[in-house]
Amino acid sequence: DGGITQSPKYLFRKEGQNVTLSCEQNLNHDAMYWYRQDPGQGLRLIYYSQIVNDFQKGDIAEGYSVSREKKESFPLTVTSAQKNPTAFYLCATTGTSGGAGDGELFFGEGSRLTVL
């Protein structure tokens, strides 16, 4: 089945701990994105990567880090420097050469992070 797999679906973290969210895709898409969604808020872009071994900061990158060592994988680490990490995190990909502006984004099912 082609798609995007995010894990874990639910995650609890104590303050001060780093946590890594997984995003794996088998769509053979070049571009991958991480968005954060808070209640009553739109999706906000954290990081994105258009090609392996390269990534760029989005609008709210502070307190987060990513890597893109393989085309299929784009993990997001929420570090202890992120002041308000409790949120719903969404990974997305697009296969269009123009990036997200040229065609649809495919989203995973999301990971809900709660800081205790």
Partner 1 sequence: SQKIEQNSEALNIQEGKTATLTCNYTNYSPAYLQWYRQDPGRGPVFLLLIRENEKEKRKERLKVTFDTTLKQSLFHITASQPADSATYLCASAGNSGYSTLTFGKGTMLLVSP
Distance in angstroms between the alpha carbons of the first and the last residue of the chain: 35
Please give the residues from 78 up to 107 whose contact with partner 1 meets the rule CB under 8 A: 88, 90, 92, 98-101, 103-107
**Token pair for 2:** 């082609």
The answer to whether 30 touches 96, Cβ cutoff 8 Å, is no
CB atoms within 10 A of CB 78: 25
Residue from the set 11, 58, 67, 73 that interacts with partner 1 by CB under 8 A: 58
Q: Interface with partner 1 includes 69 (CB under 8 A)? A: no
Query: Minimum distance from CB of 80 to partner 1 (Å)?
Result: 25
For position 43 contacting partner 1 by CB under 8 A, the verdict is: yes
